[in-house]
Amino acid sequence: MSTVTERVAIYPGSFDPITKGHEDIVRRALGFVDRVQVAVAHRRTQKKDGLFDIAQRLELIRTSFADEAAVEVVEFDGLLVDYARRTGANLIIRGLRALSDFEYEFQMALMNRQLWREFETVFLAPAARWTFLSASLVREIASLGGDVSEFVSPHVLAALHERFGPGTA
């Protein structure tokens, strides 16, 4: 007798802020898993300084997927493997935009599997028009008054405008 187990993937990252590239990856993952946990890493685990605090990032992501019951938005502190093991996700989703992403992503995938051997990483390519897009570029352009309306959803744009002003474009 076979049992049907739910396939749960975790999509970890900084999401500072969520971009249309991230949203695209989540929707692609929903094509082959039952649920996606979008997991915002606490700053303690990252080298970079943040623009939005964790609560704001979570709220922006929740708004992006308000219409999607299969997407859960969570935060985590400490090791990703420990968090994932507790929640039952054994698949990591990561977007791969260009060859330049590869070395870091490959290293993380192998290390995560070393830490928990059932933890597999699935790399997804975003739509071609988002391959040059990154949250750090969005932050930089928005902070300098540039137009990022093409790269983020309207509610994220509103949050960036609130932070930096509507900009010049």
Task: Please select the residue that binds ligand PNS; options are 24, 60, 112, 159, rule is CB under 6 A.
Answer: 112
The number of angstroms, rounded, from the C-alpha of 54 to the middle of its chain's C-alpha atoms is 13
The number of angstroms, rounded, from the C-alpha of 16 to the middle of its chain's C-alpha atoms is 9
Cis-peptide into 154, omega within 30 deg: no
SS3 80: helix
The rounded distance, in Å, linking the Cα atoms of 8 and 89 is 5
Based on CB atoms, which residue is closest to ligand PNS, 26 or 41? Answer: 41
Task: Please select the residue that binds ligand PNS; options are 30, 74, 108, 122, rule is CB under 6 A.
Answer: 108
Binding mask 57-86 for ligand PNS (x = CB under 6 A): ----------------------xx------
Based on CB atoms, which residue is closest to ligand PNS, 45 or 132? Answer: 45
Question: Please, which residues have CB within 8 angstroms of residue 71's CB and are 6 or more apart in sequence?
Answer: 26, 30, 35, 36, 37, 38, 65
Asked if residue 106 binds ligand PNS (CB under 6 A), the reply is no
CB of 145 to ligand PNS, least distance (A): 25
- Positions in the binding site for ligand PNS (CB under 6 A): 12-14, 41, 45-46, 79-80, 108, 111-112
